[in-house]
Copies of this chain bind each other. A is one copy, B any other.
Amino acid sequence: DAAAGAATATGVCATCHGAKGISAADTFPNLAGQKKSYLVGALKAYRDKTRNNPMMNGMAAPLNDQQIEDLAAYYASQKPCE
């Protein structure tokens, strides 16, 4: 759930993607309001390395399925225009 994802998001992901999902650099995607299923799929692909990005492979490696669901729910629930 989104609240459970908030701690991981703000502690880890926020560095590049922003605490609210508006990212810090033009090459890092915004995550605010992104589709939850897309985010779950992306994190799982990074975790199992079917999608290659050294940074994100490292970030996703330790995440379990529940943490992935929570992170995806958190960023999907953020408002991209605030």
Q: Across the interface, do A26 and B30 meet the contact criterion of CB distance under 8 Å?
A: no
A32 to B30, CA, bound (A): 10
A20 to B52, CA, bound (A): 28
Taking CB atoms, residues of chain B closer than 8 Å to A35 are 23, 25-30
The 20 listed contacts between A and B (C-beta, < 8 Å) are A23-B38, A25-B35, A26-B35, A27-B35, A27-B37, A27-B38, A27-B41, A28-B38, A29-B35, A30-B33, A30-B34, A30-B35, A32-B80, A33-B80, A50-B52, A51-B51, A79-B81, A80-B80, A80-B81, A81-B81
Residues in chain A within 8 A of chain B (CB atoms):
23, 25-30, 32-38, 41, 50-52, 79-81
